Each structure stands twice: as structure tokens, then as C-alpha cells.
Structure 1
Amino acid sequence: MESLKEIITFMNIDSRLDLKAVAVSHILSLTGCSDARSLIYKCPEVIEKLLKLTVDNEGTIAKDALLAIVNLSADEEGANTILEKAPNLVVECIKFILDENCALADAWAMILSNISRTELLAKRVMNDIQSSEDKLLEKLVSAFTRVDFNKKNCHLNYLGPIFSNLSQTSEGRSKFCNLETKLLSRLLPFIYHEDSLIRRGGAVGLLKNICFDSSRHSWLMTDEDVNVLAHILLPLAGPEEYTDEENDKFPVDLQYLGADKKRESDPDLRKMLLESLAQLCATRKVRDFLRAKGTYEILRELHKFECSEDGDKACLMACENVVDILIRTEEEIGEDNLKDLDIPNELADKFEKMDSNLIET
């Protein structure tokens, strides 16, 4: 602790350049260690100094200070501490992200992603965004959808996880599903963004969170601009051939896919897409829609893939969970809304443990 206090004496804007650079570089190296980060949280003056140095005139110092904040904000404790010391941080992050000539916009986006990761933090960030009259969320979506937005070679991929984080909140879901701004329909195509796993993951996470809200299921299925089912099934589909009768059932985007069609390669994203489908299976109306649109047929072929050596056990189980619902008749299911079923906590814990054991074997 004493050594930290000595170091921060050199971390002022007007400190000697060489001493300041060494001090910030040293702090940056410490933030890579969890024990050191815990020590820094107990000395919040370090965070105050780093925040001020993120706009230092010397680019290297500003970058190191910013990267240190990125590392510190990765922990929930650090994120809370940083927000306490910088209550205007959310708006500041967005200001730099939206600056087309900011060479450190990606680092600012990483910070905003970190400080919105948990649902509680996401609510705080969403409140700050909504308190502004500048339509900040709409502007962030516009920047994200313009791949060449930043002129300093910043890709802004971490806006994807930010959108996913914010959709944990009811306020966030309402903003993304707004019929006038159509933010969701603008973001869903990034589910197929081959150049960035981070962008794809953000788009899939956003979709999954919105699918948890059963009040929106009917709209998600029927709105032509959103076209959610196609966005879920297309990444799960591979180069398999289907009969003409099966193709006729599929959404238009999935009909007669070529032999070069590639399935989503990341198992975590495939699992999230399957979990989105599982949420959509909540009501009978949507279950009937899924069956009519050939969802089972796509999952039948996905199941074969997940059973192969290239497949994934967690994805296989998620796939079987959805298939198990779709192949049953509604009389067998016996419930219009599956979310109305009251499953005792001890049974839910038992099922979760059984699933974990099956995945590990």
C-alpha cells in the first residue's frame, strides 16, 4: 500500500513526463494481477489519478492509463469503485466512442462493456443513457452499423457486448424493440458478421435476452423487419440437403442453402441460439409456428453434427431440450405457457446438476 502511495505522487497531469510514464506503466502492469487489483481498490486515489490521465497530452500515457482502467473495470468491485469516482463515466465513454477521430475509442468501448456487464450495473448505465437527451443509444447503434465509422482504425466491436449487457434490463429491451427506431432489426444481421466473434456474440446475446421476454414472442415471430426465426436458424444450419417439402416450410432465407453453407463455428454462440429457441417455445402459439416453419428439421441435422467429433456436448443437450418440446403434441405438453409451470427449487437444482454431469462425461 505504501509503495502505491509513493507511485501516485508521480501520477499528476503536471508531473515530469518520464516519471509519470514509468508510474502509469507500472500501475498498468499491476492491473493484470487479481491480487494487485484488489490492493488498488483499497487505494481509490490510484483510480482517480488514472481517470485524469486518460486525457493526458502524451498519447502513450493516456493509452496506458486507459488500459489500466479497462483491466480494473473487468471486476465487479472495480467497476463499482470506478463509477463511484467517476459518476459521469458512462457519458464520457460514449463521447469518446462517438468521436470518429478518437484513436482510443476501442478502449473506451471496452470500459463501457465492463461497467455494464452485470444486470445491476447495466441498469445504472441504462439510466445514465436515458437521462441524456442526445439519443445516445441510437447513436451508438449507428456507429456500430457503420463498420468504417472510426477514422483511426478502431473497429468498435465491443459495442456488441454493450448492447447485449443493456438488454438484460427491461428498459434496454424496450429501447431495442422500439417500433420507430427499429434498433433490433438493425443489429440482428451482425449475428452473421464473419470478421468478428465479438460482434457476433454481442448480437446473439442481445437476441437471447430479448427472447427471455415472452410478452414479445408473437411480435418477434411475425414482424417482417425483425424476422427472428431466420436469424436464429440460419447460423445453426449447415450444408445439408433437404427435400422440396422441407424447404417449402423454411423461412425464405433458409430455403435451398448451398453446399458451401457454413454453420456457426463457435459452440458458445450455437448454445445461446438454441437457448433462445428454448425460450421461444414457452407458448403454444409460438411452438406451433416453429413447427410449421421447419425448426425441427433444421435441428435434426444440427443434432447429427453435435453428435459428431466436431460437435459440442453442451450444444447437443441444448438442441435435445428444444427438440424434446417440438416433437411432442400439445396434448402431451398439456400447458399453453410453459413458464406457468411451477418447478420446485430442489428439482430444478437436481436437473441442473444432472445436465452438468452429462456435459462433463
Structure 2
Amino acid sequence: MRYLKQNGAGEELSTTWEETRGGGVSERIVAERGKKTELKGKQQDASTTMPTELEELVDFISHGNTQIRQLAVENLVPYSTSQPAIFKTNQLLPIKDLKLLVRDYKQIAKNAITILINLSSDREILETLSSDTDFLQTLLTRLTNPKEPNANLLCILLANLSKSDSLKSLLALERPIPNDLTAPNSPLVISQLLDIFVRGANGTYNPDADFDFLSYLFADLAKHSEGRKYFLSKQEYDGVVPLTKLTVFTEHKSEIRRRGVASTIKNVAFEIDSHPAFLSEDEINILPYLLLPIMGNEEYEEEDMNGMLPDLQLLPPDKMRDSEPNIIQTHVESLMLLTTTREGRDMLREVKVYPIIRETHLQVEDEGVREACERLVQVLMRDEDGDEKVDQGMTALSRDVKLPRTQSKPFGGSGNWVSAEKEEEEDDDDDDDDKIVEV
């Protein structure tokens, strides 16, 4: 996943610092700037010692006057992407001030969180934020408040902070159970966030938040062995395996939620010893949740259809596969991980995964999806004692397709929120979740 960046905080941010200097509250800021300049003394060389107007504006985010703070942070939002260095002065003092503003009035907090989201792509700032336990507690306290107006932004910030290994401490962190989390509940923070994420799907926890971006946090935490262990371990407080709370969202209407859940499943699937639980109908039962999103309304031979999982048979004629190629690719790669063991390969063959992958390869015009399908077919069609069936399977995948192939754009834009950044090369365990997402 990529770091998330906020381009602005609404219509009120369409003006710039220069445009707001004409009157009102901005006159008071200009007056304050004049006082500060006088204090520097006329003996100094202004060309080398006087701070820039932007640097002076940054100083006002800690001003005692609420209106001045609000105007300052509003106008600084665009500069958090274009000139992030102005926030790194005085040993990151502006960052310390912004952390305090997260607890300020609604609009001030919104802009402060937005700036921190944008600045968290800077490694030094990222480590400063993610290693601050008190700040993390502040974020969690506000996020778990069902009346928090900026809960979705807080989810984005947490998702970005999870790019630092420091945040895996979240997996062992405990805090008082929020009053609005219905029983059964857990003092474990990760369990609280997971339960809020589930309730956010239908808006029953906070009417102002869907908590979709928590799925990105889960995906990054699942890169760590401690995270995978958590998602695969039945919890004492409700007797449920956490991963099974996520699998039901692989066909959710929210692209963000589907993408984060798909990446979480894939990362957890690196835990090879747990593959029997993944495949068991009485445990995680992952196959229907991986296969349904990649299936459309194609018709299959009767023999193939009868061999498929019951949930995949007789799908409605209007059944559509996931609209995002990179999500489909992630699901196919998860299936590939499940072929690591002989038992997994035999299971996928038995339930006729090959015909589904064949149709996915044919119907989805995306290079990444097709390459993932071809790798999986090479495994499924191979005899355990030789390669005799591979050519036959690959030939079936090579049927002519009318439309040209297109290159996928991993984690592409979603409205005005998410824009793609260049992919970073990762190890297999890191998979897609080390990419940087910008809002």
C-alpha cells in the first residue's frame, strides 16, 4: 500500500496564504509577523537570517488565538505536499505542535491530521510519529470515539504510520474498552479496531465514518509474524478467528475496503503452517472468498461446474467480477500461496479452480492479472511427478482475445482521495502493502 496524502481540506482551502493577507484575522497574523521581525534586530542581514513567510506561517500553528491557528493550518495544507521541509525546522518543533492540534477544535484538528498524513511519507517524520506512544494513544482515543468527526482521517494516518516497524507494538497494546463497543469485547487495541472496522461497514458505530482505511493498517500489520499470528488465532473474548471477520468483505462495495482486505488475506497466507485452516470448511474456509470476487457470469462445462464449491455453482446471470484488476491479481496470488503444500494443490484441483482461472485470464484485460493466472496454471496443471499437463493448460490460456492487453496501475486513484505513486520493490513478505498511497 502506498502512503495516503490529502490534497486539501475542502472548498475553504482554495485560497492561498498570499490571498488571505488582505484583512480580518490575517491582518492580525501580519501584525504578529511584524513584531517578530522587529525582535530580530536591525543589525542582522535580512537576506540570510529572516525566515520566509511560510516559515513564519508555520510558527502560528501554535498561536494562542484559535482563529489564527485555524487560518494558519488551513493555508499550510497545500504546502505539506509541495514544501514539506518547512515543517522540519527547529528539531521538528512544528510536528510536535501539529500532534497537539489533533486534539483541537474540529476544523483545526482536521487540517492538522491532514498535514500529518501528507508529511508521514518522510521517513524521519514517520519514525517520530510512530514511536510516540502518547501520540498513538491520542489517536486511538479519538478514533474509537463514536462521535469523532475526523475518524476516517485518523484511520488514514494510522495506516501510514504502519509503514514503520515501530507500529507493530499496536499488536500487543491494551487500553480501556470504549463504552460504545458492545460485549463481547477485548482490551486489546487491535481487536477493538477490528470490531469497529466491522461495524463501520454499515455505519453503526460512527455515522461520520466507514473506517475502510483500517484495512490498510491490518494489511501492513499482517506483514509481521506477530500480526499473522493474531489474525489466525481464535480470540478468547468472542471465540472467533480475526481473519474470518475480514473475509466477508472481499465483495464489499467499497474499493478501499476490498483492496485492504485482499492484501491482508494475502499477507496472512504466507503463514504456510496455517494453510489447512485456510482450506477447511469448518475453520477459515477461504476459497469461496477468494474465488467469488474473480468470477463473472461465464458458463462452465457441467463437469467443471459440478466439481466447484457449492457457493460458486449456479451464480446469477448478472454476476460481475471485481472491477479492479489489482484486487483480482492479489486474490490470484493468494491462491498461488495456497499451492505451496501438496494438500493445497490437490484441493485447488479438486474444486476446479483451473477453469475459473482460465476464464479470468480470458476476460480480464490486464497484464498483471494474466501473468498471475499463468503462474498459477503452471502449478495446477503440473503432474506431481512431472510436467506433462503444463503445455495443455497454457495452451488453453492462450486463446485469442479481441481487446488488447493493458498494463495495470496498482492502487489507482479513487475520486479525489487516492492517487498512485511509483511502486517500490519489496520482498514477498512485504507484498503490495509497502507501496505509498497518497490522498
Query: Does TM-score exceed 0.5, indicating one fold?
Result: yes
Of 152, 155, 162, the match for 1:116 = 162
Q: Determine what percentage of the aligned residue pairs are the same residue.
A: 28
User: Would you say 1:162 and 2:217 are equivalent positions?
Assistant: yes
The answer as to whether partners of 1:102 and 1:150 remain within 8 angstroms in 2 is: no
Runs (4+) of structure 1 moved beyond 6 Å? none
Q: Distance in 2 between matches of 1:249 and 1:297?
A: 11
Q: Distance in 2 between matches of 1:10 and 1:76?
A: 25
Deviation at 1:6, TM superposition (A): 2.5
Amino acid at match of 1:142: D
Q: Identify the range of structure 1 (285-294 vs 221-230) with the bigger mean alpha-carbon deviation.
A: 221-230
The answer as to whether partners of 1:176 and 1:182 remain within 8 angstroms in 2 is: yes
Of 258, 276, 281, the match for 1:218 = 276
User: Would you say 1:47 and 2:105 are equivalent positions?
Assistant: no
Q: Distance in 1 between matches of 2:227 and 2:219?
A: 9
Q: Distance in 2 between matches of 1:201 and 1:88?
A: 30
TM-score by length of 2: 0.69
Q: Counterpart of 2:135?
A: 89
Q: Distance in 2 between matches of 1:92 and 1:149?
A: 23
Of 5, 24, 30, the match for 2:79 = 30
C-alpha deviations, 1:279-301, integer Å up to 9, x for none? 11111111011100111011111
Give the CA RMSD over aligned residues: 2.1
1:273-352 pair list within 5 angstroms? 273-306=331-364, 311-332=365-386
Larger radius of gyration: 2
1:56-135 pair list within 5 angstroms? 56=104, 58-84=105-131, 86-117=132-163, 121=164, 123-132=165-174, 134-135=187-188
Of 307, 310, 324, the match for 1:252 = 310
User: Would you say 1:172 and 2:230 are equivalent positions?
Assistant: no
Deviation at 1:329, TM superposition (A): 0.4
Q: Distance in 1 between matches of 2:353 and 2:370?
A: 15
The answer as to whether partners of 1:143 and 1:149 remain within 8 angstroms in 2 is: no
Which runs of 5 or more residues in structure 1 are unaligned?
335-348, 350-361
Deviation at 1:151, TM superposition (A): 3.3
Q: Distance in 1 between matches of 2:353 and 2:122?
A: 39
C-alpha deviations, 1:194-253, integer Å up to 9, x for none? 1x1110011101110011221111211114342111111111111011233212211111
Q: Distance in 2 between matches of 1:76 and 1:191?
A: 32
Query: How many residues were matched structurally?
Result: 321
Q: Counterpart of 1:20?
A: 69
Deviation at 1:88, TM superposition (A): 2.5
Q: Which has the higher helix share?
A: 1
Q: Counterpart of 2:252?
A: 193
Q: Distance in 2 between matches of 1:54 and 1:27?
A: 15
Q: Distance in 2 between matches of 1:51 and 1:217?
A: 42
Of 227, 249, 268, the match for 2:285 = 227
